[in-house]
Structure 1
Amino acid sequence: MGACEREFLAAFTSLYLNAQTVGNSSLFTNYMLQNYTYSENFAPANLSAPTSIVNQPLNSTNSRIFLDAYLCSAFTQIIVPEPSHPYVLGVRIEGNGKYVTKMETLVSDEGDWLFNATGAAYWNSKESWPPIPLADQDTRDVIKAAGDAYLNRFGNVNVTVPFGTPCARLEGGSAKYGVY
């Protein structure tokens, strides 16, 4: 994994979202390295199989995309509050600037811990994440340290996390307020 252009990540993510909407993974396979790896819920999977989540047409009402050109990686969250079968997907890709080399999909739906696609869609619609002006951006190390502290706190309540003020977090389909 290494640096690449944001345009590569944005183009692939756009193709992926279109493919997911119609349930047709072949719309982006030209971007996949010949020996790419694909997984669903941490298990190796066949991207082109009819059972692959990518080959299920999903009507997403909300998606959030994070592009990391430094690591040539992207993360996309997709919320599908369809009454017939709601989902929340987390899709992470890695690439080399020309092709996607790895795609990992976390599929959550009814019966999964804290699952609530309707609540997730509602609270996500209330958020606004405009780009942070370059002069106001923290360094990569500062952002990584904050993320590491947040995750480490799950195992050690004495870890200090630099929460924002006010602090609101989405857990499942619920908003949690305050510093924990």
Structure 2
Amino acid sequence: MGFNAFWLTVGLASGASAACTRAQLEDAATAYVKAQAAGKPDALLLGPNVSYVENDVQIDIAKGVLSQAVTIDFNRSIFDTTQCIAFTEITAATNKHPYVIDTRLLFSDDKITAIQSVIADAGDWIFDATSHLKWAKQEKWDSIPSDKRDTRAVIKAAGDAYLDSWGDGKVAVPYGTPCARLEGGAYTGDKSPSTNTCKMPEFPKPFSAGNRRYVIDEELGAVDIFNDFPFIDKTKPNGTSSMNFIRVETGKIRYIHETTVCSTKNCGR
């Protein structure tokens, strides 16, 4: 199956589910974390033809990171009841092999139809799981009161504006004050914690982060965007596996997590 056809199939599978509850997605995320800690993917409620993808490559689930027992130091999840997708970010800093793992669980008929992960480890862009753990634990992604929640459209637009601004510096990004970015293990909020330290420079044109896949959670004001990040990896100029996990509060971006995978150490830079 070609690349575009593969993602179309996954997209159709994710949209096939009529409905799911937040409680179901919360339980699934909890089960996923336990399964990753134990290295037992069969502990999950998997569909008969579940698709398992790591860094945009479909592989045998029995040979993937999910089949390895991983010491998990911290995790955070969001839940998209409109699309029936749960997203979890795992920081495994004290594991023998440190990881940062960002995973989407896609559901249909109460079963997982696809697992998609962006998995970063040593050599990936600015990777430092210890630093990632330190700062991720300090952030507050609490539930937002119902009368102060942004709509899905507002949350998605904030995330898209941030990614679009990389290629067009004129795009107005709704950065909050404060705003902090955790990129790999590099954190911007430590030196100026009360200011906007999220603004990114405009990259050389042409530049576009494509193949965007979203998980949106209005209750937590969050959006996760899997995308192909061009330019940074010299061996993959059209885009390498990347993830942006963004917290939005009253229409403004508060936190950004970025994970980018490299085919060579530090993307050859």
- TM (normalized to structure 2)? 0.63
**Aligned match for 2:53, one of 39, 42, 46:** 39
Q: Decide whether aligned partners of structure 1 residues 179 and 59 sit closer, same or farther in structure 2, where only a CA change above 3 A counts.
A: closer
Residue 117 of structure 1 corresponds to which residue in structure 2?
129
Moved over 3 A (4+): none
Shift of 1:179: 4.5
State the structure with bigger RCO (CA 8 A, min sep 6), 1 or 2: 1
Shift of 1:27: 0.9
**Structure 1 unaligned spans of 5+:** none
Assess if the C-alpha contact under 8 Å between 1:38 and 1:46 holds in 2: yes
**CA deviation vs aligned residue, 1:129-150 (integer Å, no higher than 9, x gap):** 1100010001111111111101
Q: Single out whichever of 170-179 and 52-61 deviates more from structure 2.
A: 170-179
**Structure 2 unaligned spans of 5+:** 1-14, 190-196, 200-269
Assess if the C-alpha contact under 8 Å between 1:8 and 1:97 holds in 2: no
**CA deviation vs aligned residue, 1:68-123 (integer Å, no higher than 9, x gap):** 00110111000001263110000011112511111101111001111110000000
Alignment of 1:49-64 (within 5 A): 49=62, 51-64=63-76
Assess if the C-alpha contact under 8 Å between 2:84 and 2:108 holds in 1: yes
Matched, 1:21 2:33: no
Residue 132 of structure 1 corresponds to which residue in structure 2?
144
Distance 1:97 1:65 in 2: 21
- TM (normalized to structure 1)? 0.93
Q: Single out whichever of 71-80 and 95-104 deviates more from structure 2.
A: 95-104
Residue 154 of structure 2 corresponds to which residue in structure 1?
142
**Aligned match for 1:99, one of 93, 97, 111:** 111
Partner letter of residue 175 of structure 2?
Answer: F
Paired residue secondary structure (2:178): coil
- Counting aligned pairs with the same residue, the percent is 38
Superposition RMSD on alpha carbons, in Å? 1.3
Aligned length: 176
Assess if the C-alpha contact under 8 Å between 1:78 and 1:88 holds in 2: yes
Assess if the C-alpha contact under 8 Å between 1:72 and 1:97 holds in 2: no
Distance 2:96 2:69 in 1: 12
Residue 21 of structure 2 corresponds to which residue in structure 1?
5
Distance 1:179 1:16 in 2: 31
Name the structure with the higher strand share: 2
